[in-house]
A and B are shown apart, each in its own frame.
Chain A
Amino acid sequence: MDVLFGAFAGLGAGAVFAILGVGLVVAYRGSGVINFAHGAVAAYTAFTWDELRNTTHGAYVKDDGGSIFLPWFDPIPEWGFLKALHINNLPVEIYIMNDPPVWLAALLSLAMAAFIGFLMHIMVFRPLRNAPLLAKVIGSVGVMLYLQSVANLNFGGANRADNGFWEFTSTNEPIRNFLGMDRNLAGSTLYLAVAALIIGTATWALYRFTRFGLATRAADENEKGATLLGYSPQLLAGLNWVISSVLAGAIGILFIHRAGPPTFILFVVPALAAALVGSLTSIMGALAGGFGIGMIASMGVNATSYDWWPEWLPSDGVRTFAPVLVMILVLYFRGDRLPIRGTVGVGRQPRAPFAKHPLVGLGIGIGIVVLMSNIFTANWESTLTTTLLSIMFMLSLTVLVGFLGQISLVQWSLAGFACWTLIRLSADGTKIRAMDFLAIDGPGWPDPLAALAAIIAAVILGVLISIPALRIRGVQLAVVTLAAVVAIEDLLLRNEPLMGAGAATTNPTPDPNWFGVEVGALDEKTFRTDYWKYTIFALIFVAIGGLIVANLRRGILGRRFLAIRSNERAAAAAGVDVARTKMIGFGVSSLLAGMAGILVAYKVPVITSEYFNPFVGLGFLAFVYLGGITTVWGAIFGGLLAAGGIISEFGSLHFEGITQAYINAVGAIGLVINAIVTNGEGVALMLTNRSKEMTGVMRGTSSSPNEVSGSIDANTQEVS
């Protein structure tokens, strides 16, 4: 009975997964895009509703509020001369009325969802419709990061008060002794389930029985055919984006009383699992899948309360692992090892030019870092080391995403795993610093040995994760690895029975001593003034990482990576062991991510698992894509641009009021533009192309594109 009740209790969450899954299917059938921003759309709509009904700027004020916030922020600083020029601020907040009625609030919020869906179509996914897969994934990740930052700016990040659409909660209006099971079920759970069933069935009927649904299905099967019959695929795609967003918004409003923005945005993970159950095309399949995942997860969580349940498998981990498991099962049994004949290619990939003079770049880099380190100036130390740390991590993405073409979002979690392992191997059960909250038990290994072991641990975990990735490719890999990020956070990083005390809360980091040199960036204990030693330490790590990546590109494996990225079938026919080579790629990438994890541990005095949450990792992916995903220089530019990096810090110093929240939003916009304009070759290659063109013009030798093949790329001569 208890087990059965667990299943019923999961109906509420299941309803949300189901309707979000249906929305994902609708968008996918309309445009062929898997929308990672789907949960963020639900969140933005839900908070618009809440802002109208209940709160003002996130603070709960009953019978107050009444403004809507447009989905952007005001980028124009408050400078006098702009006012003098009559350059006004971009309007963000629009006041509607005090305490609007439910119907008006719902209508306005759903209109907001429709507006966001329309904007996504016009500004992101329509321009990307012929772009390669990676650009589409990055585009939707960009939208997700953008909406997250803007929601944070406009609504604040806090969870909402216990007062949602249903005007009651589990505590004040439960259904007592539910179905004679002697347990109380929250009333909203049942209402949500019924609402989701109605919405889902109505959506199914819309696509099954109307002319619009028929046209969408036709365009989904054969876009050219539908065009010949007089339907505009782009108009259909736009309508489907609007419908998809409104569905997300509707379930968001119904569920707002349970979740804050980050949780809401990550609901996209179980929703993606639900959509995969429906093979991304079946609305009823997604509906059933969503309810199924909600109920399975809830049953699992219910089971953790039994005595026999192993302590190292916490209920949060069970909840987040359920969708991962469903995804892997679905994809593993439906995926083929090699794409079969006639499969549409992945599209034009960003170019990965030969790494020509890595040592020259290294020399310049060392010079700049030493000048900026606190040997000479104290103020930039922290920014400089954050930049180095970002570059270190981004190099792991250069290998995995740039060279090998595997869109894995899980690498930042591996950095976290290395960081956690290092902390526990080098701890010896005593407090490291007087300010430390708790002492961590551990064998007290010497620091270099602990670091080496931690990196190896990250490599092992990374290679293990790559095993399912051998059969899962493209956007589906991105989906599964996003789910894995959430699961690793709960199953490993926050799992105190497994990782030891402090894992979920505060992890005091070691005070590292490498061969007699204090290389940590901390000064609490000794009030050292020589933390340039950490800067140099980080620089050595980055230099090693950069050389590894550059040498890979110049060597045999780099060519094999690019061959696999370009065409797995042909690579196998050329004698390349695709599975083995992919595993090596995941291994090298995890090694670099592990090294970044070590740098994190040595930089800050105390660290929480928040530091390794999915958004931070996605932010890194966003910025390395912006810098250029296929080159070492791209990772360097990415590190300079990323949150806390030199360029963004410089920006926040000189543009009044631009905080890191803005930096993320601006970065997300840059990301989307980069996906559309440069196909991910990024700032690094844009600069080199520009300089090549200039010198070409001066010498009067600008190369002309080959007319026979109709290529648009005039600079390919330089590639090798």
Chain B
Amino acid sequence: MSVLLETKDLTVTFGGLNANNHVDLKVDSGSFVGLIGPNGAGKTTFIDAITGFVPTSAGSATFGGQDLSELKPHQRAQLGLVRTFQSLELFEDLSVRDNLLVAAYPTRWYTLLQDIFYVKQKKNDVEEKVDWALEVAGIAHQADILPTDLPHGQRKLVGVARALAAQPNLVLLDEPAAGLDTAESNSLGTHLRDLLKHDITVFLIDHDMGLVLSVCDYIYVMDFGKIIAEGTPSEIRTNPEVISAYLGEEAGEIQARSAEELRDMTIEGNE
């Protein structure tokens, strides 16, 4: 498997505080990688840094072999490096479908002329991408509603669908399960595993240990801006450093056990 995203020594500094401290991380294409860590560990900052929303103070990030440092956020998105936001950040004045269309349409120099003369577009691959993304997120029946009229959990899904509509190579999901109930979270996990079949690599940040341990192939653990551990879910589950930093010993074992059950369910569901 080729390396899709790679960071070396990535460091983000906020006024003397290292929010990300020499982070080395690799995401292989076609894999499902997770990043966990307690609140304030610097997970969202890491996504902000590789998508160009905060400046890095040292280190490098490459995507598909291309250096990202000189690229603006929208250019990184156009490369196929697309993210979601923890705090939703939907286009609240646009319908769910329009939210997705904004992300799905490629930029062309003649877009302005096309719009002004209202050149009707055939039912093309853009529409198909959008329909597919709505389907994957399970919100196809709500496509024509404003996001503000949806319950919180479904708005989260709109955010995920918007990222998928851009047909990314890598989608960075920032706590997509926060605010979802267990059932919603489980079904989201199943849907996300499906993405791998569509050549989309997934990078997932979440608090829901059950979700992360059940769907990810490989997991990084971050604390105080540093990667303190990495490995397969079973390695992470038993890593003493992770357990003390994040899970708490007893809780960790319970969580891990339930995650194992969940994982079995998910994989069955996939087959």
Which residues of A come within 8 Å of B, CB atoms? 338, 340-341, 348-349, 351-352, 547-548, 551-552, 554-560, 562-563, 565-567, 569-578, 584, 588, 705-706, 708-709, 711, 713, 716-717, 719-720
- Bits for B143-186, please: 1 = Cβ < 8 Å to A, else 0: 01110111110000000001000100000000000000000000
Q: Is the CB of B91 within 8 A of A575?
A: no
Interface status of B8 (Cβ within 8 A of chain A): no
Q: Is the CB of A572 within 8 A of B73?
A: yes
Interface status of B105 (Cβ within 8 A of chain A): yes
Q: Is the CB of B74 within 8 A of A576?
A: yes
Q: Is the CB of B116 within 8 A of A548?
A: yes
Q: Is the CB of B102 within 8 A of A560?
A: yes
Interface status of B133 (Cβ within 8 A of chain A): no
Question: Contacts of B148 on A, CB cut-off 8 Å?
Answer: 709, 711, 713, 716
A352 to B85, CA, bound (A): 24
**Interface size bucket, B side?**
35 or more
Interface status of B115 (Cβ within 8 A of chain A): yes
Q: Is the CB of B111 within 8 A of A557?
A: yes
Interface status of B90 (Cβ within 8 A of chain A): yes
A83 to B94, CA, bound (A): 53
Interface status of B48 (Cβ within 8 A of chain A): yes
Q: Is the CB of B91 within 8 A of A573?
A: no
Which residues of B come within 8 Å of A, CB atoms? 44, 48, 51, 53-54, 72-75, 77-78, 82-83, 85, 87, 89-95, 97-99, 101-103, 105, 107, 111-112, 114-118, 144-146, 148-152, 162, 166
19 of the cross-chain contacts (CB-CB < 8 Å) are A552-B116, A555-B115, A556-B115, A565-B93, A570-B89, A572-B53, A572-B74, A573-B82, A574-B82, A574-B166, A575-B78, A575-B82, A575-B103, A575-B166, A577-B72, A711-B148, A713-B146, A713-B148, A716-B148
Q: Is the CB of B107 within 8 A of A575?
A: yes
Contact of B77 (CB < 8 Å), options: A348, A554, A574, A717: A574
Q: Is the CB of B151 within 8 A of A577?
A: no
Q: Is the CB of A567 within 8 A of B73?
A: no
Closest B residue, CB atoms, query A569:
B89
Q: Is the CB of B74 within 8 A of A578?
A: yes
Besides the known contacts A341-B44, A573-B89, 7 further A-B residue pairs in the complex with CB atoms under 8 A apart: A555-B111, A555-B118, A560-B102, A571-B74, A573-B53, A575-B166, A588-B112
Question: Contacts of A574 on B, CB cut-off 8 Å?
Answer: 77, 82, 102-103, 162, 166
Contact of B115 (CB < 8 Å), options: A552, A705, A717: A552
Closest B residue, CB atoms, query A552:
B115
Of the listed residues B97, B112, B115, B144, the one surrounded by the most CB atoms of chain A closer than 10 A to its CB is B115
Q: A567-B91, A572-B73, A706-B150 are in contact. Are A720 and B115 (CB under 8 A)?
A: no
Contact of A716 (CB < 8 Å), options: B83, B85, B145: B145
A567 to B99, CA, bound (A): 11
Q: Is the CB of A566 within 8 A of B115?
A: no
A576 to B82, CA, bound (A): 12
Say how far B45's CB is from chain A's closest CB, in angstroms: 9
Q: A557-B111, A575-B74, A709-B149 are in contact. Are A566 and B92 (CB under 8 A)?
A: yes
A499 to B152, CA, bound (A): 58
Question: Contacts of B85 on A, CB cut-off 8 Å?
Answer: 569-570, 573
A351 to B51, CA, bound (A): 30
Q: Is the CB of A706 within 8 A of B102?
A: no
Question: Contacts of A720 on B, CB cut-off 8 Å?
Answer: 95, 97-98, 144
Q: Is the CB of A562 within 8 A of B74?
A: no
Contact of B102 (CB < 8 Å), options: A348, A352, A551, A571: A571
Q: Is the CB of B102 within 8 A of A349?
A: no
Q: Is the CB of B91 within 8 A of A571?
A: yes
Question: Contacts of B150 on A, CB cut-off 8 Å?
Answer: 706, 708-709
Question: Contacts of A706 on B, CB cut-off 8 Å?
Answer: 149-151
Say how far A358's CB is from chain B's closest CB, in angstroms: 9
Q: A551-B115, A576-B102, A577-B74 are in contact. Are A563 and B91 (CB under 8 A)?
A: yes
Q: Is the CB of A719 within 8 A of B166?
A: no
A705 to B145, CA, bound (A): 12
Q: Is the CB of A569 within 8 A of B53?
A: yes
A708 to B91, CA, bound (A): 19
